Chains A and B, each alone.
Chain A
């Protein structure tokens, strides 16, 4: 296979594993907005090192190893800051288990799209503010006259509802495919 073909393969694999790489990094850096940047850096490193990847071996494992390294590097840089980080032992377990739960992400996402449609407009609005605007809940609370505490509870419930809906749909799909 010439290098152009190899590159095409890597691009294909990289594209295919984007959601998994992002999620993987996020699982190790919960609630940290820099997770996105770390995932992007991981992409760049994967691309740089594509020559090291042996076609036919497990791409995901290889990519995740790079991602983990990038997470550690980021941690090291952040060491002076007092961010809360999981202890190494737990991180190890999460890294391993997370890798196993990342199949079927696109199905998950499609199910989410449908479940979002079923939300009440007010709930959808809240989701939109929380995730798209990324505006503090206090700001949105003021706008619609609700307390932050109340909104947090609502958000939690909406997420629960979405999760139940997604699980049902995935189960239904599996049933139909089987």
Chain B
């Protein structure tokens, strides 16, 4: 039989259409012919890839942006919460696969929520909820134990809540307040915004008002405009500027006038939020100075320094490994302070650095804002080219972190390195948010651990075969990869579409407690 004929039989075998006689013939040949077996393996890989790819492409020939890993990654790794991931774990896997087959066209990314936390000041939440500025508000009832939080609903309504309060946002146009004081600013586009309480509901007709809900009843003040009060068992009443109404649970009420100057203005809140943000930033500056003087730090780039010229990025560690900024432009940092971060989205953006020496364990650390992951590889930190004993740190298009140190030259069928991927931590609903990202390469423990926002999201063991205990960096880039392949456009673009405002390399393995502490101190 010719090579072509054997090839046909392999295809028939994989199609499930092979005859018994041919099967026996092929089986006999496979037993004695290692080359044919290699062809069989190659064909299997192709077959498998084609199936996955067809599912991915769904019914249309257009390029739909769902990476092939996604359906595995989604089931196991969406979000950084390991607990969540264990719950949906394996059952979600099947569901994901079926969904990919049955509804291949509905691939528009989705996120759940009606509002974001736009500002806060000393805010403490009940039930272990932790929210950063810009986070989508989780659905369901929420309790603000203390402090002040400002929500921006997608309808345009701004709500300021003061702790202690309990509430739930049902839609961009409706919320319930079980307890506590809120202040709402409702633009004309959101006329009809409704706030439910135990004794009745406020319907807003375009205004600014305050509402205080206690176990005894509700008290509302209209600062500007007009609202309607819909009591549970009584007629609608309307209130305008400067009017207030106190309504008890028993349906008794009193109405009176007040001076709007008795109430703090929204600007007052804004000043308070800004003050808090600056205070948090100052607290970080103290922590940042500690990092800079940490003897384990190899190079440290807090990007707020104005010490050097426009194109030079100062190494805060005192080692003098200053970077050179190429193309990247100044951007606001994670506290919204302008010109204190670098945005790597302009084509060719990078910070060139050169760090000498050989190191054992290492920690790569940064705060990054990811706007999108539209490249196959999205760079955090990569050494030039792909040389022996050099690390590469990047994010895959599906939101998985990638870290590797090249162990040896590659040759056919032999990998040149061990790659540690984290589960996916990013999806487009997180666009524009800041993340603390760290990866620890621990030579002693033979592990690589990926961290996001102070928590380990994935850990992997490195066998002796791939462990590198003399890690070298040399010439490298932050936010991009140098010497991308010349003739392949898909691989050429690797700059991070986003910004970085703090970047550090340690010549040691930081503990998970240290990473968590850095996160707490650096949270915007």
Contact = CB atoms under 8 A, between A and B. Distances in A.
A31 B457 contact: no
Most buried by B among A1, A30, A116, A131: A30
Chain A contact residues: helix, strand, loop or mixed: helix
A173 B73 CA distance: 25
Given A7-B86, A31-B18, A86-B27, A56 B48 contact: no
A176 B421 CA distance: 22
Given A11-B77, A156-B11, A93 B57 contact: no
A22 to B, nearest CB: 6
Given A40-B93, A160-B7, A174-B410, A26 B48 contact: yes
A121 B60 CA distance: 12
A128 B457 CA distance: 36
B31, B49, B61: most-surrounded residue (chain A CB, <10 A): B49
Nearest to A87: B27
Contact of B31 (A18, A58, A90, A152): A90
A32 B43 CA distance: 15
Contacts of A90: 27, 30-31
A155 B46 contact: no
A159 B51 CA distance: 12
Contact of A112 (B15, B43, B53, B420): B53
Interface stretch (A67-75, A95-103, A139-147): A95-103
Interface string B71-105: 01100110000110110011001100000000010
A55 interface: yes
A3 to B, nearest CB: 10
A63 interface: no
Contacts of B237: none
**Most central of B15, B83, B410, B459 by chain A CB within 10 Å:** B459
Given A8-B82, A8-B457, A128 B57 contact: yes
Interface size class of B (residues with CB under 8 A): 35 or more
B31 A159 contact: no
Contacts, number: 168
Contact of A30 (B13, B54, B73): B13
Contacts of B82: 4, 7-8, 11
A101 B41 CA distance: 8
Interface string B21-55: 00100010011000001101111111111111111
A31 B9 CA distance: 12
Given A31-B15, A114-B490, A128-B57, A156 B8 contact: yes
Interface of A: 1, 4-5, 7-9, 11-16, 18-19, 22-23, 26-27, 30-33, 40, 43-44, 47, 55-56, 58-59, 84, 86-87, 89-90, 93-94, 97-98, 100-101, 103-106, 108-110, 112-114, 116, 121, 124-125, 127-128, 131-132, 152, 155-156, 159-160, 162-163, 166, 172-174, 176-178
